[in-house]
Amino acid sequence: MTESLAGKSCTPCRGGIPPLTPETAEAYRAQAPDWALRDEATRIERTYRFRNFAEAFAFICRAARLAEAEAHHPDIGFGWGYATVSLRTKKIKGLHENDFIMAVKLDRLANAAADQVAD
Ligand SMILES: C[C@H](O)[C@H](O)[C@H]1CNC2=NC(N)=NC(=O)C2=N1
* Ligand 1 touching residue 72 (CB < 6 A): yes
pLDDT band, very low/low/confident/very high, at 2 (cuts 50, 70, 90): confident
Q: What is the pLDDT of residue 59?
A: 97
Q: What is the mean pLDDT of residues 96-108?
A: 98
Q: What is the pLDDT of residue 3?
A: 87
Q: What is the pLDDT of residue 117?
A: 66
Nearest to 62 by CA among 8, 96, 117, 102: 102
- Boundaries of every domain in the chain: 42-113
* Ligand 1 touching residue 16 (CB < 6 A): no
pLDDT tens figures, 3-23: 899 999 999 999 999 999 999
Taking each helix axis as running N to C, give the angle between helix 53-70 and helix 97-113, from 0 to 180 degrees, rounded to the nearest 10.
Answer: 140
Does residue 96 have a pLDDT over 90?
yes
Predicted TM-score (pTM) of this structure: 0.93
* Ligand 1 touching residue 90 (CB < 6 A): yes
Q: How far apart are the first and last CA of the chain?
A: 28
pLDDT tens figures, 35-93: 999 999 999 999 999 999 999 999 999 999 999 999 999 999 999 999 999 999 999 99
Q: Mutate which of 90, 92, 99, 105 to test ligand 1's pocket (most atoms within 8 Å of Cβ)?
A: 90
Please tell me the distance from the alpha carbon of residue 58 to that of residue 26, in angstroms, as a whole number.
30
Identify the residue whose C-alpha is closest to ligand 1 atom 17: 72
CA of 12 relative to ligand 1 center, distance in Å: 8
Q: What is the pLDDT of residue 100?
A: 98
Distance of CA 28 to the CA centre of its chain: 12
CA of 63 relative to ligand 1 center, distance in Å: 15
Nearest to 110 by CA among 27, 51, 69, 30: 51
CA of 67 relative to ligand 1 center, distance in Å: 9
Report the CATH number of the 42-113 domain. 3.30.1360.20
